[in-house]
Amino acid sequence: MPSHPIDVLTVGNAIVDVIAHTDDDFLARQKLHKGAMQLIDETRAEELFAIMGPATIVSGGSGANTAVGVASLGFRAAFIGKVRDDELGRLYAHDLHAVGVDYAVSPAADGPATARSFILVTPDGERTMNTYLGASQGLGPGDLDPHTLRAARIVYLEGYLWDPPEAKKALRTAATIAQEAGNRVALTLSDPFCVDRYRAEFLELIRRGKVDILFANIHELKSLYETGDEGAAIAALREEGIVGVVTRSADGALVVTREETKAVAAHPITQLVDTTGAGDLFAAGFLGGLANQFDMVNCARLGAVAAAEVIQHIGARPQVSLRDLARQAALLS
């Protein structure tokens, strides 16, 4: 066991966010499903970029956002994901190192450019994502460092990573190595349409004991169990016998185990600006707490504090120290 264990290691698509403001009419004209993530090819990426508004570029990617949140809370975080050795790829690695996330995956020397997601934010703060996976699809089992995987108390896998075939192999390997070392594996369902694409695989993974902690928002959970009924979805989750964490936007979160369901309120905010990263940061707080033996309710509270910060500005990475915010909320000393 290394002298400095990692609290949370996340594996995900390494994506730069290209964020622009838009309105509902634009989404309708472009036939975009509001609030969802849609995969796009290079041609569509060019097309969409040409007609969207002025952009703000910040590093993103669901799993990486979570790692940054863990680091911002003062816990030890690592990230595994693939960029190209281009301008945006260098920005991406810089942004991880700058907040102290352990990131050592070699960038691709050729092939497609660093992944980007064109994120359209409507006046209600909702984000609609159009992702060109580019270099992030190149992540494979060879990019995993077993030493790092064994050193992580929790390994967190992004559902979105099921899309690139090589990455999926890497995920399965990562989960196996982590569990064999006695560590826990967490999975986020990522997006209702992502669940649609991989429902059977996700359920198999859960039921074969490969997932210890499952994150889902309520839409993803309903999609997983193919029900429109919230209560039925939560009851089905309870039956899995794992730790289920269900986020419900302004209605807070539920921690669902076989024994009980605990509700935790959302952390108060002043103004909702951009929901991008809300789920990622909730997971950061929850997992950071869990890796440090917090009880489930305080884990969820830590998640709520982290999520509240990130939805009050553009971009999915915290702009202030989450540790300071958690201290103010009396969750960390």
Of 102 and 212, the one with the shorter C-beta distance to its own copies is 102
- Centre a 10 Å sphere on the Cβ of residue 82 and count the other Cβ atoms it contains: 29
Rounded to an integer, what distance in angstroms lies between the CA atom of residue 136 and that of residue 132?
A: 9
Least CB distance from residue 105 to its own copies, whole Å?
A: 18
User: 116 or 150: whose CB is closer to its own copies?
Assistant: 116
Cβ proximity to its own copies, 21 vs 248, nearer residue: 21
Q: CA-CA distance, 305 to 74, in Å (whole number)?
A: 14
Q: How far is the CB of 305 from its own copies (least distance, A)?
A: 19
Tell me how far, at minimum, the Cβ of 95 lies from its own copies, in Å.
4
Q: How many CB atoms lie within 10 A of CB 236?
A: 19
Distance CA 272, CA 275 (A): 7
Nearer to its own copies, 98 or 297 (CB): 98
Task: Give least dist CB 321 to its own copies, A.
Answer: 10
| Cβ contact 4:76 at 8 Å | yes
Whose Cβ is closer to its own copies: residue 57's or residue 104's? 57
Q: Which residues contact its own copies by CB under 8 A?
A: 18, 20-21, 49-50, 52-59, 68, 86-88, 91, 94-95, 98-99, 113, 314-315, 317, 319
Give the span between the Cα atoms of 140 and 307, in whole angstroms: 30
65 φψ region: left (φ > 0), alpha (ψ -120 to 50), beta (else): alpha
Smallest distance, Å, CB 18 to its own copies?
A: 8
Q: How far apart are CA 184 and CA 152, in angstroms?
A: 9
